[in-house]
Amino acid sequence: MRGTDEADHGKARQEAARDAVELKRAGATKAAGALAAALLQDNAQDRLARSVADYVARGQRQEERDELRKLISMVEARGKAAGTSSDDARPRVLACLGPAVSAGAHPEAEGEALLYRILLRSGMEEGTGIRIIEREQIETLLQEQNLGVSDLADPRARLAIGKLLPASLLLLGDLLPTAQGDKLFLRLVDTETTQVLASFSAARKENELYEDVCAELAVRIVGKIVELRPLQAQVTAVDGAVVKVGLGRFHGVREGHFFDLVHRAALDKKTPEDYKDEFKGTAKVSAVSDFSCELAAVWDKDQPQRAQNLWVREKKRGSVAPNQKGQGE
């Protein structure tokens, strides 16, 4: 009986989450807020409840638009200040546009696709340095910019987003409801080249929890993004075990973030992207501001006396961090 009760509770919880999302989409923000609050009260530690409640609380579209405009302005300003330098670090921005359903799909399916996106956003933002932008924000942005693109499936939309947020990424894909459950097909796209960088798929059986499927999928997506776009920058100062770098909250850096320390040697001076890294140690972010941070370094062998050609490069997710006094995992 206990297993049946838990299954019934899980089903009721997921139905309440879908209802809250549907109410929000329909513009009934007060009703959505009340339902989300009740869901959260009964399931305070539940990822689904927290993610839906957070989505409903972010309902002030003006605030969301202002945040996006601020990010675009900062990216533009930092780009102009750095000129065309390839050393300039940019924040990793991911527009979470998928999964989506085909045009004319049943409203319930559209609400379910939104629920997947909400949970994916929650999973991808947790403990990472990736800035997530929701589908609705991007749609509003394109309309405001009068770019002549209204369909996010249109390849021109990718180019438009790439111009506004250089080096950004799109998460596109489809949700296919079936009698056995849902199937998700997603792809990660570079906005500047429109190249598909990676593809992902997942399936959710009818009795399976949304959050379990999305949590596993989010880990895979974030791992691929870190692999393809690791945060990295040249070290600006070295003082014993303290290293300073021009990466900060703007770029997605947080306290406790781990990096590898490498000596970078150019193989061809005419091609900045052609280089070789020599491992020198690891470092953990101890203090961070908007555009810079300090790291506690653990040198592998000889400690460099100068910052010349010394870089930090984000450690891959799942790699082992140093474990010593003052440098915990």
- In order along its 329 residues, the chain shows pLDDT tens digits of 445 566 667 778 888 888 888 888 777 888 888 888 888 887 766 888 888 888 888 755 566 667 778 888 888 787 666 554 444 578 889 988 899 988 777 778 888 899 999 999 989 987 678 888 888 888 777 777 766 555 676 777 777 787 778 778 999 999 998 888 899 999 999 988 888 999 999 999 988 889 999 999 999 999 999 999 999 999 999 998 999 999 999 999 999 999 999 999 887 776 667 789 999 999 999 999 999 999 999 999 888 888 999 999 998 865 544 454 434 33
Structure token pair of residue 225: 């993004």
DSSP state of 91: -
CB 263 within 8 A of CB 304: yes
Structure token pair of residue 237: 């100062």
Query: CA-CA distance, 90 to 87, in Å (whole number)?
Result: 9
Cβ atoms within 10 Å of 23's Cβ, excluding its own: 20
Question: What is the pTM assigned to this prediction?
Answer: 0.82
What are the E-state strand segments in 240-274?
A: 242-245, 258-266
Q: For position 99, what pLDDT does the model report?
A: 94
Beta pairing class for 92-96 and 130-134 = parallel
Structural domains of the chain in order of their starting residue, each with its CATH number: 2-57 (no CATH), 61-228 (3.40.50.10070), 232-314 (2.40.10.410)
Angle between helices 210-228 and 47-57 (to 10 degrees): 70
DSSP secondary structure string for all residues of 248-292:
-GGGT--TT-EEEEEEEEES-TT-TT-EEEEEEEEEEEEEE-SS-
Cα distances (angstroms) measured from residue 54 to each of 16, 29, 147, 186, 253: 15, 13, 30, 24, 22
DSSP secondary structure string for all residues of 197-215:
EEEEEEEEETTS-HHHHHH
The residue type at 184: L
